[in-house]
Copies of this chain bind each other. A is one copy, B any other.
Amino acid sequence: MIKNMKICVLGCGATGSVFASYLMKGGADDIWLVDLNKAHMDAIRDNGLLLKDPDGESLLKGFHTAYSADEVGPCDILIVLVKSTHTHSAMQGAASCITEKTAVVSLQNGLGNDLDLAQFVPENQIGCGCGRLGTVLESPGVCVSKPAQGITNMYIGPVYGGELAAKACKYIVDCFAKGGLNPEYLDDVRPALWKKAAANSGFNTVCAVLGLTMRQVHEDETALALVKQVLKEASDTAAALHIADNLYDGLVSDIPKAVASYGDYYPSLAQDFLIYKRQTEVNTLSGAISRFGKIAGVQTPTCDVLSQIVTAVQANYDKRYKDKD
């Protein structure tokens, strides 16, 4: 393991705090946490970060904290974990952390985060990762990690190749593995990202727009057709970009298992949309497939229209017709 890489975690909400904890548990010893949440940053600075996970509690001390990336200085690795809608402003604010030797690794959800980062750094400095981890920020300085059965499959690697990104991603994978997660390094992380994001995009946006659970969508022929159209558009786009040959068949054959496991729930984007009335991550799911479709010259009409609908609704939650039963 390469020692003494200076890491800055940009965006330390629940997920950023949990990932930072596993990095430290795994041996990383020069970690800066940056977040606008002053109470959380101050609690970590004064008392350390308490990680609760199925293995128990770990009080982790020695993090550097800051309210702004300006205070951090040049880093070896900048891990981006802000909401994707804030990536642009966060990266502008982090300019002083980044040199030509800084790897910038997005562990944000969904697709297209690399396109956002490519506006700020050369492609060989860009890495991405994906994985599902339930996280909660319980109180300032206290974060909770709920990996299913203690194990989460994560995939981390360069997006466009490049030694610099590869070295940083291997370092992160090393620390995560020693810290208790179950990460895998990939020379090209894009097929894994696309598989996961494509699978999520279909049910997430369709369940949101229809107001139905995954099982209800699965049981309605027209609704399920919409999901499959999204999967097809994602698969065609990934193929046109030479990322993966035929994601579609695998994605369709995975549907029954997903419905058996999570069928009675609304997927996360649908929860944000229906219940919490939050800005959703649509731009990194079907919205990102639309963006990549344009780059690849692939028509993505279902993703286009579903994304437009989600975008228009989330700008007008307060005005929307309320269903009084």
Q: Are A312 and B222 in contact (CB under 8 A)?
A: yes
Beta-carbon contacts under 8 Å, A94-131 to B: none
**Which chain B residue has the least Cβ–Cβ distance from A215?**
B319
Q: How far is the CB of A205 from chain B (nearest CB, A)?
A: 11
Residue interface mask A307-325, B partner, CB < 8 A = 1:
0110111011001111101
Residue interface mask A206-223, B partner, CB < 8 A = 1:
000111110011001011
- Which residue from B212, B222, B311, B316 sits with its C-beta under 8 Å from A216? B316
Beta-carbon contacts under 8 Å, A238-291 to B: 266, 274-275
Q: How far is the CB of A61 from chain B (nearest CB, A)?
A: 44
Beta-carbon contacts under 8 Å, A36-80 to B: none
- The answer, yes or no, to whether A29 is at the interface (CB within 8 Å) is no
What separation, in Å, do the CA atoms of A210 and B319 have in the docked complex?
10
- The answer, yes or no, to whether A226 is at the interface (CB within 8 Å) is yes
Residues of B within 8 A of A212 (CB): 312, 316, 319-321
- The answer, yes or no, to whether A295 is at the interface (CB within 8 Å) is no
- The answer, yes or no, to whether A301 is at the interface (CB within 8 Å) is yes
Q: How far is the CB of A231 from chain B (nearest CB, A)?
A: 15
Q: Are B211 and A313 in contact (CB under 8 A)?
A: yes
Residues of B within 8 A of A320 (CB): 210-212, 323
Given contacts A226-B309, A274-B323, A321-B274, contact A209 B211 (CB under 8 A): no
**Which chain B residue has the least Cβ–Cβ distance from A275?**
B321
- The answer, yes or no, to whether A184 is at the interface (CB within 8 Å) is no
Q: Please, could you name 12 A-B residue pairs with CB atoms under 8 Å apart, sorted by A?
A: A212-B316, A212-B321, A213-B319, A220-B312, A220-B315, A222-B315, A226-B308, A226-B312, A301-B305, A302-B305, A305-B305, A309-B309
A-side residues, CB < 8 A to B, are 209-213, 216-217, 220, 222-223, 225-226, 229, 266, 274-275, 299, 301-302, 304-306, 308-309, 311-313, 315-316, 319-323, 325
